[in-house]
Structure 1
Amino acid sequence: MSKSIRGIGLVACCAAMIAMVWPSAAPVAGDHIVSNLEPAAITLDVPMAAQQGLPFSPVRLENELDVDQTPRVGLSVPEETGPTLDLAALVGDVADMHRSELEDEMRCLASAIYYEARGESLEGQLAVAQVILNRAENERWPNDICAVVYQSGQFSFTFDGKPDIPAVKGPAWKRAEAIAIIAVGQGWQDVTDKATFFHATYVKPGWRRVKEQTRRIGGHIFYR
């Protein structure tokens, strides 16, 4: 069974939660937008996702021409920039909605986010989650999230002898859970540009010389 098929259920569940709390966060470039306007009279403009989210251009109404090439007068929508989605708001909405215990793989991901990046920005925390997901989709690594997180020697919190879930599940843990849901549900673009490695800015591992650096976000540098 392929990795993509294996993960469909988990992704679908998380995507459904994201769509429920923030429907406008779900579509990406190439998705279809349902409109009650006459199909022949509109053109949809859905650009590639911008760095801070997935904003959309509004539906643009094209002037239609009669047979005699005289422009018909019809509805018009002024061109304006669509609202830019805000990661902090999305994280907050998902955190507010989420009330149940996470399944094992999601809990593994939330733990990695919490212990590796809870002091980072939300984008920085999301980036760590996306590195783990990118590994799980790559044949070089195990094919599930927990196996990636607990692979020998990868994340120090997994072998420091301490619990991998905080005793007090405060706001930082709730954010980590929400970011895990968003990352698995593909509710935000890959801010790492397909990275599968990262390290803190204060260390200089030898492997960095043979990798392509993709991003630097807060206290981490990302590579593929």
Structure 2
Amino acid sequence: MSVAPAQAYATPEPLISVASNVLPTPTVIQPIPASIQLPATTVELDPLAPTMESDELTDQPIVETPRPTGDLSSKVAALRGTNPGSRELECLAVGIYYESKSEPLAGQLAVGQVIANRAKSGRFASTYCGVLFQRSQFSFVRGGSYPAPARSSRQWENAVAVAKIVDGKLHSSSVPNALFFHAKRVSPGWRLARVGSVGNHIFYR
């Protein structure tokens, strides 16, 4: 298909010879007075046509992840997995894993809550990773690193789930204000306020 070039005028204007004494008549553009009302351009909308909500204009639909319900075991089962989803949750899960992987879920939740409490206390680092790598706080951290957890194990999957529960405030710990803990088998003689005992650990603030 070919398209003819657009024509500027319906009838071409005659050419004037250079030697001619006839001067061309200039074209004067007359402004439109403000008093003249121009016809309004209207767009007819179909009242039955569906409208677009603001959320529908985004590239991806907004899908909210349902919050798990039930007891702690049910929430852990719903959130269990091998991938924490972020570096911060990875650090929180690692702390839970190495400090309490053999503990009941309530004990793991309490350990995770201590790490979260420290991060927001102002007395420690302000992130989970910062708390984890703070000097002389966790014995499994050596030289600024920690051993790789067994990511295919159920214990790691539980730690990931508990980390998500702690971070999302999805379940209350029985020691909500604790900042310190130690195993029952040791007696460090801390002069701290004891807030409770969960599993094989004693918790303080």
TM-score category, normalised to shorter length: 0.5 to 0.7
- Per the TM alignment, residue 171 of structure 1 is displaced from its structure 2 partner at its CA by 0.7
Identity %: 39
Structure 1 residue 110: Cα displacement: 0.4
Which aligned segments of 4 or more residues in structure 1 are displaced greater than 4 angstroms? Answer: 98-101, 160-163
Unaligned runs of 5+ in 2: 1-63
Indicate the residue corresponding to 1:86 in structure 2. Answer: 71
Equivalence for 1:172: 155
CA drift of 1:165 comes to: 2.7
Letter in 2 for 1:90: K
Aligned to 1:156: 139
Of 111, 114, 119 in structure 1, the residue corresponding to residue 97 of structure 2 is: 114
Matched residue SS, 2:149: coil
Larger radius of gyration: 2
Return the alpha-carbon distance in structure 2 between the equivalents of residues 196 and 132 of structure 1: 7
Structure that is richer in helix per residue: 1
Find the counterpart in structure 2 of residue 217 from structure 1.
198
2:115 aligned partner: 132
TM-score (norm 2): 0.64
2:160 partner SS = helix
The count of aligned residue pairs is: 142
Indicate if the aligned counterparts of 2:119 and 2:128 stay in contact, CA closer than 8 A. Answer: yes
Change (3 A) 1:147 1:214: same
SS of the equivalent of 2:123 reads: coil
Contact persistence 1:110–1:176 (CA under 8 A)? yes
Classify 1:116/1:99 alpha carbon distance in 2 versus 1 (closer, same or farther; 3 Å).
closer
Counterparts of 2:143 and 2:82 in 1: how far apart (Å)? 29
Equivalent residue letter for 2:149: P
Kindly indicate whether the alpha-carbon contact (under 8 Å) linking 2:97 and 2:159 is maintained by their aligned counterparts in 1: yes
1:1-224 alignment, distance < 5 Å: 17=65, 20-22=66-68, 25=69, 85-95=70-80, 98=81, 100-159=83-142, 163-207=146-190, 210-224=191-205
Alpha-carbon distance in structure 1 between the residues aligned to 2:154 and 2:143: 23
TM-score scaled by length of structure 1: 0.59
Q: Deviations over 1:71-129 (max 9, x none)?
A: xxxxxxxxxxxxxx31111100111xx56452111000100111100010000000000
Q: Is the 8 A contact 2:93 2:163 kept in 1?
A: yes
